[in-house]
Amino acid sequence: MMNAVLDVLTWACLLGGAIFLLIGAIGVLRFPDFYTRLHAVSVCDTMGAGLVLVGLMLQGGLSLVTVKLLLIFYFMLFTGPTAVHALAEAAMEGKLQADVDDRES
């Protein structure tokens, strides 16, 4: 019984992470300019990869694998938003304009 609950939670986390990553990928294709695309990717990438890692940690149990996945999660949690912020700052410093046109959606 407990294994079935663990499997359901694992699959929920993995599917939720995959959905967030898919939404981020669609945002990169659909949003009109650099800054909105960057925002879509940063938010969805952190949440999606985090959920995938949590799902893998649930399957790993209490082991060295889980500790390694936890370290990857913390590294990703701190470096992902920092890298996106640095990229946005570099784009603003380089005077990259947000090319939003007046299209009717």
Rounded to two decimals, the pTM is 0.81
The beta strands (E) that lie in 42-87 are given as none
Using 50, 70 and 90 to split pLDDT, how confident is the model at 105? Answer: very low
The first and second tokens of residue 82, run together, are 């920092």
What CA–CA distance (Å, rounded) separates 28 from 98?
Answer: 14
Residue partners of 48: CB distance under 8 A and separation at least 6: 16, 17, 18, 19, 20, 21, 23, 24
Using 50, 70 and 90 to split pLDDT, how confident is the model at 97? Answer: confident
**Triad 82, 66, 49: Cα angle to 5°:** 40
Q: Looking at residues 98-105, what average pLDDT do you find?
A: 56
**Which tens digit of pLDDT belongs to each residue from 51-69?**
999 999 999 989 999 999 9
What CA–CA distance (Å, rounded) separates 61 from 67?
Answer: 10
